[in-house]
Amino acid sequence: MSDRVGFIGLGVMGCPMALHLQRAGHTLNVYARRAEAMQPLVDAGAAACASPAEVASRSDTVFTMATTGADVEQVVFGANGIVESARPGLTVIDTSTIAPAIARRIASRLEAKGVAFLDAPASGGGIAATNATLTIMVGGSEDAFASAEPLLRCFGKTVTHIGGSGDGQVAKAATQLAIVLTLQGIAEALTLARANDVDPQRVLEALLGGSAYSRMLELMGPRMVSGDFQPGVEARLHHKDALIVLECAADAGIAVPGAAVAAQSFNALMARGGGRLDSAALITVVEGMRHG
């Protein structure tokens, strides 16, 4: 069955996610701040809209994918935002990574208008978005999730309903906590090898074959050894995620000391102008501490 689906935010992840929805036979309405970002979808048959409000007026379900919580709130509640054309029965699904408190605030405001909201952050980056193998953690009502699940499975390999509003973002924060800690650990391990005049490439090969193996080690270890920092996932995004982790932990009144260390490393990388580099560039911060 074809649904009228809107998609707002057509970047590295949003564009392939929207394409998967279109290929599944859904009528697609799209909006992006840059007209050229919409072109691949328009070429494939999507309707280009002039604003988020127009997307909402033409859709039964609207997906959003933005960088920050403030961006999502602007898309939903700003001038010409979704809320201007929102009607009872509309479902808004945010696939961005934002603070749980912001997701809950958006949900409350939309639900007061009879609009369902799901926070459904997608994990896996551009490659997983292209391959439709994203991991998606969903917060919101069971009824809204049940209705939206077939759409989410157009680009998600693992789709899990975590709980109520904001709970999907808590799950994503937990995921990103593990990732930034792993990045910090890989950078420190390889720097330890190099500081002891041991070939980091051989150490990496040993790590990949032992109990320290992880997918992150497989992906990021070779980049850290070779110094290839062309962006896969830009460091600025993991920096944002680390700060969300700290905010979420503070709200819950718990300590996450490892995440704090990783956040400080990303702070340093950002200060060096490395925000647009791949997160593998974190090793330059650790190596820099070695040299004082």
Q: Is the pLDDT of residue 223 over 60?
A: yes
Provide the number of structural domains found in the chain. Answer: 2
Q: What is the mean pLDDT of residues 160-169?
A: 98
CA dihedral 30, 33, 35, 37 (to 10 degrees): -70
Confidence band (pLDDT; 50, 70, 90) for 1?
very low
Do 257 and 153 have their domain in common?
no
What's residue 248's pLDDT? Answer: 95
Confidence band (pLDDT; 50, 70, 90) for 2?
low
Do 97 and 234 have their domain in common?
no
Do 74 and 140 have their domain in common?
yes
Q: What is the mean pLDDT of residues 113-119?
A: 97
Rounded to whole angstroms, how far apart are CA atoms 168 and 153? 16
* Catalytic residue, candidates 113, 157, 172, 240: 172
Confidence band (pLDDT; 50, 70, 90) for 291?
low
Do 196 and 160 have their domain in common?
no
Do 82 and 102 have their domain in common?
yes
Indicate the average pLDDT of the chain.
96
Task: Look up 172 and say whether it is catalytic.
Answer: yes
Q: What is the mean pLDDT of residues 285-290?
A: 89
11-65 pLDDT, tens digit each:
999 999 999 999 999 999 999 999 999 999 999 999 999 999 999 999 999 999 9
CA proximity to 18, closest of 136, 132, 139, 137 = 132
Rounded to whole angstroms, how far apart are CA atoms 284 and 41? 38
Q: Is the pLDDT of residue 134 over 70?
A: yes
Which of residues 122, 143, 165 is at a domain's end? 165
Q: Which domain holds residue 268?
A: 173-291
Q: What is the mean pLDDT of residues 71-78?
A: 97
Q: Is the pLDDT of residue 133 over 80?
A: yes
Q: Is the pLDDT of residue 292 over 90?
A: no
Do 151 and 18 have their domain in common?
yes
Q: Is the pLDDT of residue 172 over 70?
A: yes
Count CB neighbours of 49 within 10 A.
21
What's residue 232's pLDDT? Answer: 86
Q: Do 19 and 42 meet the contact criterion of CB atoms below 8 Å apart?
A: no
Helix 215-226 to helix 200-208 angle, to the nearest 10 degrees? Answer: 170
Confidence band (pLDDT; 50, 70, 90) for 114?
very high
Angle at alpha carbon of residue 133, lines to 226 and 262, rounded to 5°: 45
Do 52 and 139 have their domain in common?
yes
Do 278 and 142 have their domain in common?
no
Do 111 and 226 have their domain in common?
no
